[in-house]
């Protein structure tokens, strides 16, 4: 892990920190926030891709970016990002996360621990670091990227459980920090055409076309819902309908593998 920008950028623009910005939804968040006039703190493991994205955003929007190359599965990586957050940002997007495929009992235990480190522990620790300066300033926005799978019971038990934690954590905290002027939203998207599923070894070739969401629209929906004070953001009418119906059905009818 390396931190190539320990000192916050001197700027009059608001600053947004995005984890996992080098592909997919994270890139969409970085571009949208840059378009809205935010300087950025970009956090991921791949330093080369971070620099490429920073150069792209600087050229397209005239923003500046700090680069933190860090593995959020590690304590050292989370500490480096938390140290930067303690200096203050206006927006935090906890987007980094990953999926593991296969049966739980066959999975590598270290990989599962790493998944919890990124999907759960990083969200907890980074939010904990970001909130004190946000509350002191009387403003701020935190987007915790969960998943629609965190609202259902499904075959990816450890991933779904990690995202269910993100939803409940955000719901419980959002109402308390709202009194301090801080907005918090749990974003629960469905399928998106990104590197996420291939990296997790998940075959999604049979997913109908109408279930795929556009990453730019998902990011936009999350920020708009945060501005409206919504605590759980579910992009896409079909997904909103299905999650509503799922809450109404008897538990004995919950899907079983």
Q: Which residues are catalytic?
A: 159
Q: Which two tokens stand for residue 28?
A: 């969409």
Closest CA to 18 of 126, 87, 93: 93
What one-character DSSP code corresponds to residue 64?
Answer: -
Q: Which two tokens stand for residue 231?
A: 């605590």
Angle ∠(10,15,21) on CA atoms, nearest 5:
120
CA dist 232 and 174 (Å) reads 10
Max Cα–Cα distance, the chain, nearest Å:
56
Q: Are 199 and 101 in contact (CB under 8 A)?
A: no
């Amino acid at each position: 892990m390396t931190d190539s920008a320990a000192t916050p950028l001197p700027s009059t623009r608001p600053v947004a920190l995005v984890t996992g910005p080098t592909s997919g939804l994270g890139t969409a968040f970085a571009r949208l926030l840059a378009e809205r006039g935010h300087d950025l703190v970009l956090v991921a493991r791949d330093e080369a891709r971070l620099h490429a994205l920073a150069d792209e955003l600087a050229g397209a929007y005239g923003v500046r970016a700090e680069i933190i190359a860090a593995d959020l599965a590690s304590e050292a990586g989370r500490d480096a990002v938390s140290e930067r957050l303690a200096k203050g940002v206006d927006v935090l997007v906890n987007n980094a996360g990953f999926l593991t495929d296969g049966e739980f009992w066959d999975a590598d235990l270290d990989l599962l621990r790493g998944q919890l480190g990124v999907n759960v522990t990083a969200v907890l620790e980074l939010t904990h670091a970001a909130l004190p300066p946000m509350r002191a300033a009387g403003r701020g926005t935190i987007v915790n990227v969960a998943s629609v799978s965190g609202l259902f019971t499904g075959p990816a038990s450890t991933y779904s459980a990690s995202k269910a934690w993100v939803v409940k954590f955000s719901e419980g905290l959002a109402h308390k920090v709202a009194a301090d002027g801080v907005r918090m939203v749990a974003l629960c998207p469905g399928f998106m055409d990104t590197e996420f599923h291939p990296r997790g070894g998940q075959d999604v070739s049979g997913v109908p076309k109408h279930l795929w969401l556009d990453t730019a629209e998902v990011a936009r929906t999350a920020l708009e819902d945060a501005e409206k004070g919504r605590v759980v953001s579910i992009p896409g009418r079909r997904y909103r309908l299905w999650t509503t119906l799922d809450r109404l059905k008897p538990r004995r009818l919950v899907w079983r593998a």
